[in-house]
Structure 1
Amino acid sequence: MGEVKSTGRLATMLGGLGLVAGALMIAGSRHWLPTTLPSYPPTPEAGEARSAPRLPVPDARPGQPARRIAEDLIAPPPLDAAGIERIGARPPLGELGLASPPKTAMPQDWRETLLYRPVAVSSAVFEAMGRRVIISGAVDIDPDRTCSFGDAVWPCGQRARAAFNAWLRGRALKCVLPPDGDRFAIAAPCRLGKQDVGAWLVANGWAMATPGGLYGKAEAVARGAQMGIFGPPQ
């Protein structure tokens, strides 16, 4: 019995030494094995449907930043349609920025005629090449007319004629006239380059618009801005 116990103790000691030696050999090696291995989702079998990846649900609160939801896809920040209000377009600052009024039907013998070296005789009337033309759609301001602004009274008619002449600077006007228009004064639409002459005069307050004419809004703008005859002495 004593011999058997001695043999068992010896085997136990040798086993312990073997475990220590094995541990020392592993510690002295250059590479360590991971204690735990990463887990991967099981590969679906042939014919088994793959489930689509679950994307994050966007936050409905306004003001959230854009975020990446896939490798090549960036979702814009969510918008709350209830907080969006559509407003109308800003009104134009004046009639000068609007498109030229549509051309009115003229008799077949009326045609565009260039009138060189025009001279204003009043705020909406000029003479050139033996013709006397009244700008259609504009109400002329008589040169003898005076205007009042507050306690001041000033010769607005003379100032309106001077402003028209200063704007013309002798440049040629293109007007739609009949062939025999040199025998009498005639109301006609005219342009200086691409600018409608009547629109310029009324929008700057140097003439008034005919009732129900094309330049009613232009006159309202000039009155509101106190321009030309509607403003202080100039």
Structure 2
Amino acid sequence: MRPAAFITGITGMAVVAGLLLAGEARLGGGTAGEETTTAAADAAPKAGKRAAISDDRAEMIARSAEPTAPPSPDPGDGGAPKPADVPQQAETPAGETARPAAKKAVELARPMVENAGILSFGERRLLLAGIVPTPVDRICGPAGRQWPCGMMAKTALRLLLRNRSVSCDLDTVEWKETVTTACRLGTEDLGAWLAENGWAEAAVGSPLTEIAETARQAGKGLHGDDPRRN
């Protein structure tokens, strides 16, 4: 074999071998790059997921550690408190009215007896509860035996009181004109005393109706004879 041909053959084989090696390197590099790219692409979402989860958990922990702030007022309502923030007041049940304040016992000195049923304190008067006042000019008894029972009823109440103080149930000591209330001399209810002794009749629906009727049947006070004849 000629040297030139031998050298040419060796050179050709070297070129072919170089081309094969270059092609294999390219093929291997492409595969490695693709694998690297794929691995990086797979790793990126996983890393993003881990980062997102970590942030969410961090936010949850931070919120749980913070104190709960009170709700800020709505700027549109001028900072007015919400209905839930306003303390509710006790409501009166339907069909019921608010009860008035209980009256208190007030001591009144030296009442004047206007008639059997009304006490006067200057221009102010107290009508004894539960009875119908007996007018001073009332006349009782049959014809020929009539007598001034109204004046006698007034005198009987005056003799009972004898200018002593009485205790009356009032809202205030500064009442005006005429007020209906219960008054007592010690523990003796004045209205009940008048009804029991027949010096006044019971008002309609009064709790004194029964004792007033008992006095009428017994002929006491207005229902009897002139006591001056006895």
Q: Does 1:187 align with 2:190?
A: no
- Deviating beyond 6 angstroms after TM superposition, the runs of 4 or more aligned structure 1 residues are none
The alpha carbon displacement at 1:181 in A equals: 4.7
Structure 2: which 5+ runs fail to align? 1-98
Q: 1:130 to 1:151 in 2, by over 3 A?
A: closer
Q: What SS is found at the alignment partner of 1:160? A: helix
Aligned to 1:124: 117
Larger radius of gyration: 2
Q: What SS is found at the alignment partner of 2:146? A: strand
Q: Does 1:145 align with 2:151?
A: no
Q: What SS is found at the alignment partner of 1:176? A: strand
Pairs aligned (count): 129
Q: What SS is found at the alignment partner of 1:147? A: coil
Instruction: Quote the Cα distance in structure 2 between the aligned partners of 1:124 and 1:143.
Output: 10
Give yes or no for contact 2:123–2:177 (8 Å, CA) kept in 1.
Answer: no
Q: Does 1:220 align with 2:208?
A: no
Aligned to 1:229: 222
Give yes or no for contact 1:123–1:160 (8 Å, CA) kept in 2.
Answer: yes
Instruction: Quote the Cα distance in structure 2 between the aligned partners of 1:107 and 1:225.
Output: 39
Structure 1: which 5+ runs fail to align? 1-105
Instruction: Quote the Cα distance in structure 2 between the aligned partners of 1:181 and 1:204.
Output: 32
AA matched with 2:145: A
Aligned to 2:189: 196
Q: Does 1:172 align with 2:165?
A: yes
The alpha carbon displacement at 1:109 in A equals: 6.2
Q: 1:150 to 1:219 in 2, by over 3 A?
A: farther
Q: 1:203 to 1:150 in 2, by over 3 A?
A: farther
Q: Percent identity?
A: 33
Q: 1:136 to 1:181 in 2, by over 3 A?
A: farther
Q: TM-score, normalised by structure 1?
A: 0.52
Give yes or no for contact 1:139–1:207 (8 Å, CA) kept in 2.
Answer: yes
Give yes or no for contact 2:138–2:149 (8 Å, CA) kept in 1.
Answer: yes
Instruction: Quote the Cα distance in structure 1 between the aligned partners of 2:142 and 2:165.
Output: 34
AA matched with 1:170: N
1:3-52 per-residue CA deviation (whole Å, 9 max, x = no partner) reads xxxxxxxxxxxxxxxxxxxxxxxxxxxxxxxxxxxxxxxxxxxxxxxxxx
Higher normalized helix content (fraction of residues): 2
Instruction: Quote the Cα distance in structure 2 between the aligned partners of 1:176 and 1:144.
Output: 29
Aligned to 2:107: 114
The alpha carbon displacement at 1:184 in A equals: 1.3
